[in-house]
Structure 1
Amino acid sequence: MTETTAAPDLSDLVLPADLVAGLTEIVGPAGIELDRTGIDEFKDPYWIPGDETYAASAVVQPTDTEQVQRIMRLANEAGVPVWPHGQGRNYGYGGPSPRVRGSIQIGFRRMNRVLEINEKLAYAVVEPGVRWFDLHAALEEQAPGLMHSVPDLGWGSVIGNSMDSGITYLPYGTDFQFPCGMEVVLADGSLLRTGHGAIPEGHAWHVHKRSLGPSLDPLFVQSNLGIVTRMGVWLKRKPEAYAPLVLTLDDDADLEQAIDVIRELRLAGHLEGVPSLYPTLRASVMLTDTPVVTPRHQLRPEDYRRIGQETGVGAWSCRTAVWADRDVAELRIAKIRAAWEAIPSGRFRVDRVYAPEEYGELALAHEKIQAGVPTLKAIEITPAHVGHVGFSPVVPLDGAQVRFVVDELRMRIVAAGVNFSGGILITGERACVIVCGMQFDITDGDSVRNAMDLAKSLVRDLGELGYGEYRAHLDFMDLAQEQYGFGDHAYRRFVGAIKDAVDPKGILAPGRHGIWPAAAR
């Protein structure tokens, strides 16, 4: 059903005339949006219909770092909070909407230049409006022998995704190795360069991750301590052989053994990147490009079995790949096949090994993504009325623990009337992120509320079991941070102290991931 509600009162979202004039002077009339219709293009498309809890007052789109600095100085003078976002595509986690109602959104769609491609040292430097499609196109034009790690959807910002610990799937996706060296605008408008960028004309800025003294790059990930306006990204040379693989389990009971097999293959160096293991519903989407099932009805066990049989994805299917010289690739494929087929219901498939000049022949989205070719397939095959909210705890890469957490999640999700979907993303040799993408009907407020309430209950329940969220939706950032309570919330107090030191007025993204300035605690 479609909700009809009275028009909300948005009169408190009108900015003072002098502030509007100052922002317009900085970014120009084309760079500021004050009309509600235009502002609403930069709101969470998956939020409760008619609810304006997280409404912004304006959207400004700077064109360079100097303009970002001036915006921050002006916001400090006016005492109005700002909320930065790249392309605003962080769907499932609140999109571009600000945590504090009335904030000014700083968007970066006009700061979209690939500033450098260093073919010899295999890195690029990008602005925050550069999409995965943009970086890919620049590489194909200027350095076609290089490839980059990509997420499932190519429409987002390279920097924006990285600054929220977004997962990508090629080898530098492992343990979030992709970024190196940042330029950061601080809350007072001053400019910082991390690592060896702190040396004037420094030569190792984007090739060495450590600093003299504390290394700061990770401090700006999922934080509200600065705005990254430039970042280095590590690239790989296209390998002689690229082989996308599909590893299937026909029996859910084999999940525990499969996790242990993947761990040992990773530790031995046979599996690289971020192997992703999906249950039936999501596997059919992510491995066969089957359209997303509507969440307007709950599936029965026999429905899952039918989908698994019809699409060939079974109870679970893992997408992964091998990137190597051809002889090494053949050896790794043989090792992976032998280990997987030792699982009672394990099925192994490799359809083809590709050379770099054959990437244009890749057909399925998972084959393209693992070759560093961005796509929008996962959105294109999702009905317009389907949204989702994410809950994604981090779990040790131990079969017994993964089995326990999956069972706990599935029990609660099904009991709430929601279909079990998501995936187990193997982000390193020792841990995984179990992503629950709980889907709902975005036109039905009750459906949205049910999914949000379910997500919050999972944050609490799994937190009590010792498993914490790896990135949180806007609406439950505080709740997710609350689970990290060791030492009377020593972590939150420490980061809060840094926040107060570098942003004493609390202007920059207050409340992001549960970190608030002193005045708002």
Structure 2
Amino acid sequence: MTITTPGFTLTAETVRRLVAVVGDDAVHLEDADRDEYRDPYWYQGDRTYDSSAVVYPTSTEQVQQIVRIASDADVPIWTSSQGRNNGYGGPSPRVKGSILLSFRRMDKVLEINRELAYAVVEPGVRWFDLVDALEASGNEDLIVSIPDIGWGSVVGNTLDSGGTYLPYGMDFQAATGMEVVLANGELLRTGMGGVPGNKSWHLYKRGLGPVLDPLFVQSNYGIVTRMGYWLMRRPEAYAPLYLTIPRGDQLEQAVDIIRELRLSGVLRGVPCFYNIISLAWQFPELGEYLGGKGALSEEQLQELADNSGLGRWGFRAALWGDGPVVEHQLAKITEAWGAIEGSSIVHDHTYTKDQWGPFESFTEKVHAGVPTMDMMNAVPTGIGHLAFSPVIPLVGKEVVEFERLASEFIRENLDENLSAGVLVTNERSLIFICNLTLVLDDEAQVRRARDTLKKMVEHFGTLGYGEYRAHLDIMDLASEQFSFGDHSYRRFCEAIKDAVDPKGILSPGRHGIWPAAHRE
């Protein structure tokens, strides 16, 4: 399939109409203003994914009017909640010249329901904002399943399948009930929200007939302007854990132990593990091992693991629940993990409902639902990343085989070591994130990494691996790998797109879904 993406330029009349809706201070046309909405991990000389304007609505009604104006002008819209999707294209639009709709001014927490433990948020609400709102309203004993970095949007992260780590993070369970602006400017409420005045809109994940909420994740069928998000009551006990896997040849054993602990219900949420290269980026004192020329040898990697005490792989997890239950679960984990020779379990403290903090490390904060920027701040200045992130069965031999193949591919193409982070998203699968490090002031290096990423998508696609999430620059390529039935999955998505957005106004090209006007 050939895709055409002509650039768009706003007419003076379109700008005038936008200003009439949101005000002059909410339509930004200058380069300096628009450049804030670019991925900082992309080489800045490349203007392929520039917008023509950044527009800041403050209400759903304004979003509806903007959509109608864009439709009249035949100019596409690309939405950005906070624009913090660094490494995946950030807030940049796939089609040059699109109107970039920023939701940073739609930042209200619309509802906090203490009895049923949920909140309702606009798309500009950050993780920091939601937690602040809980504390300000006397609901600090309700906690939020959050990602590693707190500056992003609750809605934006959800709609891109971004991971969070507390129990509701498993299989992305927290989001329930959406309000959506469609391409014709009409307003849709999903699930039980379709019944006026229904009180179960943000409580029940289905409705009557097809379940629509998932259709708006990683798609371009509508613009979500309101979303429910389930919260968790602060548990009686919370035990953050760090478990080591001392040697690389113990990874298979460790993965199989993790699977059984998950299937038995001992491990909940989204535990994750990192190899020593990924861990080293998170500990500045290990910088001497990084940044040199060429990949480290097996002996050097093991030396780094031994000297740091972090292991060849480090596994972070947490336990939440009643005190005796957490103690029992910890005993089960200790017994199971003890089968790994030389392994250790770091469990410094079990926090209680009444002694909730202070938390020391950023992982303790994150698994307690306390937003932080610590991980972001640990990244050296001038360093960014791209990622290839396939979904893999939670089986030791499957993980080891992919790790071997990915390590060899990275070494052969970039002369670097694989930097890996693995999210155990449920009891049966995981997301294996292969990070490609970028030296942002070295355009040649960034281009090599980008080219390597494209090669990885194609190569591993032939081996049966598909990504869970794709960078803006490779969305088409990642989608291309889902080729069963002559790309029946993509063709079905395109059929929906053409039906609900016949002019192709909303985020054309998002995750490889193009309207008919762009397909040849």
The TM-score range, normalised by the shorter chain, is: over 0.9
Look up the equivalent residue of 1:207 and give its one-letter code. Answer: L
Whole-Å separation in 1 of the counterparts to 2:300 and 2:140: 44
What secondary structure is seen at the aligned counterpart in 2 of 1:317?
A: strand
Among candidates 314, 319, 324, match of residue 317 of structure 1? 314
Whole-Å separation in 1 of the counterparts to 2:442 and 2:401: 32
Among candidates 451, 455, 458, match of residue 457 of structure 1? 455
Look up the equivalent residue of 1:147 and give its one-letter code. Answer: I
Among candidates 192, 208, 226, match of residue 204 of structure 2? 208
Instruction: Summarize deviations over 1:6-30 as a string: whole Å, max 9, x none.
Output: xxxxx96642100111111111112
Whether contact under 8 Å (1:83, 1:106) holds in the other structure is: yes
For 2:145, the equivalent position in structure 1 comes to 149
Whether contact under 8 Å (1:159, 1:231) holds in the other structure is: yes
Whether contact under 8 Å (2:7, 2:95) holds in the other structure is: no
Whole-Å separation in 2 of the counterparts to 1:300 and 1:284: 13
Whole-Å separation in 2 of the counterparts to 1:340 and 1:308: 18
Q: CA RMSD in A?
A: 1.5
Does structure 1 residue 495 correspond to structure 2 residue 490? no
Instruction: Summarize deviations over 1:439-480 as a string: whole Å, max 9, x none.
Output: 111111111111111111111111111110000000010000
Whether contact under 8 Å (2:238, 2:320) holds in the other structure is: yes
Whole-Å separation in 1 of the counterparts to 2:180 and 2:284: 39
Whether contact under 8 Å (1:85, 1:96) holds in the other structure is: yes
Whether contact under 8 Å (2:94, 2:507) holds in the other structure is: yes
Among candidates 361, 364, 369, match of residue 364 of structure 1? 361
Does structure 1 residue 25 correspond to structure 2 residue 23? no
TM-score, normalised by the number of residues in structure 2: 0.96
Q: Residue 357 of structure 1: CA displacement?
A: 3.8
Among candidates 241, 248, 272, match of residue 244 of structure 2? 248
Whole-Å separation in 1 of the counterparts to 2:118 and 2:420: 32
Q: Percent identity?
A: 53
For 1:432, the equivalent position in structure 2 comes to 430
Q: Residue 303 of structure 1: CA displacement?
A: 4.2
Among candidates 399, 402, 406, match of residue 402 of structure 1? 399
**Cα separation, partners in 2 of 1:473 and 1:12, compared to 1, 3 Å:** closer
For 2:329, the equivalent position in structure 1 comes to 332
Does structure 1 residue 411 correspond to structure 2 residue 408? yes
For 2:49, the equivalent position in structure 1 comes to 54
Among candidates 219, 222, 233, match of residue 223 of structure 1? 219
**Cα separation, partners in 2 of 1:48 and 1:206, compared to 1, 3 Å:** same
Runs of 4 or more off by more than 6 Å in structure 1?
Answer: none
Whether contact under 8 Å (1:289, 1:364) holds in the other structure is: no
Among candidates 172, 175, 179, match of residue 176 of structure 1? 172
Whether contact under 8 Å (2:7, 2:96) holds in the other structure is: no
Does structure 1 residue 161 correspond to structure 2 residue 157? yes
For 2:296, the equivalent position in structure 1 comes to 300
Among candidates 70, 76, 82, match of residue 71 of structure 2? 76
For 1:477, the equivalent position in structure 2 comes to 475
Q: Residue 48 of structure 1: CA displacement?
A: 2.1
Whole-Å separation in 2 of the counterparts to 1:231 and 1:382: 31
What secondary structure is seen at the aligned counterpart in 2 of 1:115?
A: strand
Q: Residue 513 of structure 1: CA displacement?
A: 0.5
Look up the equivalent residue of 1:503 and give its one-letter code. Answer: D
Q: Residue 187 of structure 1: CA displacement?
A: 1.1
Instruction: Summarize deviations over 1:378-399 as a string: whole Å, max 9, x none.
Output: 1111122101001100001111
Does structure 1 residue 133 correspond to structure 2 residue 131? no
Q: Residue 261 of structure 1: CA displacement?
A: 0.4
Whole-Å separation in 1 of the counterparts to 2:99 and 2:291: 34
- Count of matched residue pairs: 510
Whether contact under 8 Å (2:281, 2:379) holds in the other structure is: no
TM-score, normalised by the number of residues in structure 1: 0.95
Whether contact under 8 Å (2:181, 2:188) holds in the other structure is: yes
Q: Any stretches of 5+ residues in structure 2 without a counterpart?
A: 1-5
What secondary structure is seen at the aligned counterpart in 1 of 2:356?
A: helix
Q: Residue 295 of structure 1: CA displacement?
A: 4.7
Look up the equivalent residue of 1:372 and give its one-letter code. Answer: G
Look up the equivalent residue of 1:45 and give its one-letter code. Answer: P
Whole-Å separation in 2 of the counterparts to 1:222 and 1:437: 21
For 1:518, the equivalent position in structure 2 comes to 516
Look up the equivalent residue of 2:323 and give its one-letter code. Answer: R
Does structure 1 residue 34 correspond to structure 2 residue 29? yes
For 2:82, the equivalent position in structure 1 comes to 87
Whether contact under 8 Å (1:418, 1:438) holds in the other structure is: no
**Cα separation, partners in 2 of 1:252 and 1:294, compared to 1, 3 Å:** closer
Whole-Å separation in 2 of the counterparts to 1:395 and 1:208: 29
**Cα separation, partners in 2 of 1:442 and 1:285, compared to 1, 3 Å:** closer
For 2:194, the equivalent position in structure 1 comes to 198
For 2:278, the equivalent position in structure 1 comes to 282
Q: Residue 510 of structure 1: CA displacement?
A: 0.4
1:382-393 paired onto structure 2 within 5 Å: 382-393=379-390
Instruction: Summarize deviations over 1:277-336 as a string: whole Å, max 9, x none.
Output: 1000222455x6767776564441344334323432110000000001110000000001
For 1:187, the equivalent position in structure 2 comes to 183
Which stretch shows the higher mean deviation, 343-352 or 15-24? Answer: 343-352
Q: Any stretches of 5+ residues in structure 1 without a counterpart?
A: 1-10
For 2:3, the equivalent position in structure 1 comes to none
Among candidates 83, 96, 111, match of residue 91 of structure 2? 96
For 2:263, the equivalent position in structure 1 comes to 267
For 2:371, the equivalent position in structure 1 comes to 374
For 1:66, the equivalent position in structure 2 comes to 61
Whole-Å separation in 2 of the counterparts to 1:313 and 1:162: 31
